[in-house]
A and B are shown apart, each in its own frame.
Chain A
Amino acid sequence: MHPADEALVEQYMERGDEHAFRLLVERHQERVYGYLLGMVKDPAVADDLFQDTFIRVLKALNRDRASYTKQGRFLGWVMRIARNAALDHLRARKKWYDVPDPEDMNWWDALPDLSESSDEQLNRSQQADMLAECIDALPPEQREVLLLRHESDLTFREIAELTECSINTALGRMRYALLNLRKMLETTELNHVTHADA
């Protein structure tokens, strides 16, 4: 039986057990890294932000443990720190607000162009790349909710709290994210088949 997150935090806080903290990092690495990578779309930057997130976590635990206990679930608290790190980076790069308004966005222009590989069978890796590109093409708010739900495994209530919106808004964003994603995937695959036939 694996120890709960809270028990590992306790071990680290009470006994300075590095192994306990390492277990926490390894347990949640995919949830945190998947979100960060989806947000910044650059593996090297995601690596840096991942490291920065857990360094901030360590410092926060050592400086003011209350900031963790007030936030409840460990993962939710870590994701808040990860989100702040990602938004800091995006603001610094001025990319976050450079994304076109979702109302004006032409989805079909943003679809990934897979015509160059049209004469090959779509393998698993290509499908994954295609899915990733479609996710990247989603409006930021929808993309973030989708990443927090699928990569970080947060509940919609936790997502609403983290992104400071109502749960209905979070659900609406998720719904549109899934529907838009499905449309984009269908169109991309259709384009691929058309190119292959030609």
Chain B
Amino acid sequence: MENRKKDILLHLYGEASEGADLHGLLKDPELRSEHAALSEAKFRLDHRSRKRPDASVIDGIFAATPGAVTEPGRRAGDRPARSRPTHLRKVLLPALSIAAAVLFGVAVGWFAAPSSPDKAPALSDGGGAPDLVPPETLYRFVPPTTNGIRPTGTLSWDDADELRQVYRRIESMQPKSSLSWDEPPVPLESLPVGRSGGILPAGSNR
């Protein structure tokens, strides 16, 4: 019943589907009285005078958004054609970009290099434990001298006393150890203990 009442409403407002039959619905007395009641209210509403805003209100819309509508041709037509790239834009700018990139690379390299060879990292600081230095840092960039060749013709780290000392210590330790890399592992206790060489107990003074 509710659906048929809604069908009557759709008929009243001209929105019923084509197959809907109003006459069939109105054979039912209840639906007929529903139709009469709805029609009466609709009739009153249909004959209601319509209201509109004051004309100044509409003018106010355009006054409030002057940029939006007062420029005829604002969106009209195509945009003007772009001018051909000039010589400056076509050749000079790419060349300048490349030159700037090269200069930047040189500047980065210059500032990344040590300011003097004396600041090159040492392999050890005398009697203490040797510093762990990545091997690539040993090959540091040395700023060229005026003629581009070092006076001695040798690398800065090759003639260091510290390097020679470390080398001698390794050489002297080598014969004292009976272990080699190929042998199976042995417990530490079986290794010789003492000042003559080999393993030193933890906490003992050298």
Contacts and interface: CB of A to CB of B under 8 A. Distances in A.
Interface stretch (B19-27, B54-62, B112-120, B187-195): B54-62
A168 B52 contact: no
Interface stretch (A43-51, A66-74, A85-93, A106-114): A43-51
Given A14-B75, A34-B51, A22 B62 contact: yes
A175 B5 CA distance: 8
A30 to B, nearest CB: 4
A59 B67 CA distance: 10
B65 A59 contact: yes
A33 B70 contact: no
Contacts of A131: 44-45, 48
Chain A interface size, as a band, is 35 or more
Interface stretch (B6-14, B89-97, B170-178): B6-14
A58 interface: yes
B77 to A, nearest CB: 9
A167 to B, nearest CB: 9
Interface stretch (B33-41, B125-133, B153-161): B33-41
Given A58-B61, A178-B38, A182-B37, A18 B52 contact: no
A25 B51 contact: no
Contact of A179 (B13, B41, B46, B65): B41
A2 interface: no
B60 to A, nearest CB: 5
A26 B69 contact: no
Given A26-B58, A58-B61, A16 B13 contact: no
Nearest to A174: B9
Interface residues of B, number: 38
Given A21-B69, A29-B53, A30-B50, A175 B61 contact: no
Q: Is the interface of B mostly helix, strand, loop or mixed?
A: helix
Interface in A113-170: 128, 131, 146, 149-151, 155-157, 168
A17 B60 CA distance: 17
Interface in A34-48: 34, 37, 46-47
A18 B6 contact: no
A181 B74 CA distance: 50
A47 B53 CA distance: 6
A150 to B, nearest CB: 5
Contacts of A8: none
B69 A146 contact: no
B64 A55 contact: yes
A175 B45 CA distance: 13
B53 A168 contact: no
Contact of B68 (A29, A62, A151): A62
28 contacts: A15-B72, A16-B72, A16-B73, A16-B75, A17-B72, A21-B69, A22-B62, A29-B52, A29-B58, A30-B50, A30-B51, A33-B51, A33-B53, A37-B51, A47-B54, A47-B57, A50-B57, A54-B61, A55-B61, A59-B68, A131-B45, A149-B13, A156-B10, A156-B13, A178-B41, A179-B38, A182-B37, A182-B40
Given A13-B75, A58-B69, A178-B41, 7 more contacts: A15-B72, A18-B62, A54-B61, A58-B68, A131-B44, A131-B48, A146-B45
